[in-house]
Amino acid sequence: MRWQNRRLSDNVEDRRGGGGGMRTIGIGGGIGGIIIVVLALLFNQDPQQALQSVQQGSGNAPQSESRTVTSNSDEISRFASTVLADTEDVWGELFSQMNRNYKDPGMVLYTDYDQSGCGAAQSAMGPFYCPADEKVYLDLNFFTEMEQRFKVAGDFAMAYVIAHEVGHHVQNLLGTSRKVQAMRAQLSEREYNKLSVMLELQADFLAGVWAHHAQKKHNILEPGDIEEALNAASAVGDDALQKAAQGHVVPDAFTHGTSEQRVRWFKKGFETGDIKQGDTFNAPDL
For the segment 210-253, what is each residue's pLDDT rounded down to a tens digit?
Answer: 999 999 999 999 999 999 999 888 887 877 777 777 888 877 77
With beta carbons less than 8 A apart as the criterion, state whether 14 and 77 touch: yes
List % helix, strand, coil for the chain (3-state, nearest 5): 55, 10, 40
Counting every residue, how long is the chain? 286
Evaluate if residue 61 carries a pLDDT over 70. no
With beta carbons less than 8 A apart as the criterion, state whether 203 and 168 touch: yes
With beta carbons less than 8 A apart as the criterion, state whether 22 and 240 touch: no
Q: Give tens-digit pLDDT for 145-204.
A: 888 877 888 999 999 999 999 999 999 999 999 999 898 889 998 898 899 999 999 999
Sequence-separated (6 or more) residues with CB below 8 Å from residue 105: 11, 84, 129, 134, 135, 136, 166, 169
> What pTM was computed for the model?
0.83
Closest among 142, 113, 136 to 24, alpha carbons compared: 113
* Per-residue confidence (pLDDT) for residue 57, from 0 to 100: 42
Q: φ, ψ for residue 18 (rounded to 5)? A: -120, 15
Buried b (16+ CB within 10 A) or exposed e, 81-112: bbbbbbbbbbbeebbeeeeeebebbbbbbbbb
Could you tell me whether strands 113-116 and 128-130 are parallel, antiparallel, or unpaired per DSSP bridges?
Answer: unpaired
Sequence-separated (6 or more) residues with CB below 8 Å from residue 282: none
Other Cβ atoms less than 10 A from the Cβ of 9: the count is 21
**Which phi-psi region, left, alpha or beta, contains residue 30 (left: φ > 0; alpha: ψ -120 to 50)?**
left
Evaluate if residue 63 carries a pLDDT over 70. no
Task: Name the band, by pLDDT with cuts 50, 70 and 90, for residue 65.
Answer: low
Cα dist from 12 to 84, 87, 107, 278, whole Å: 8, 13, 5, 28
With beta carbons less than 8 A apart as the criterion, state whether 255 and 196 touch: yes
Query: Angle, to 10 degrees, between the axis of helix 155-174 and the axis of helix 189-218?
Result: 120
Would you give the end-to-end CA distance of the chain in angstroms? 29
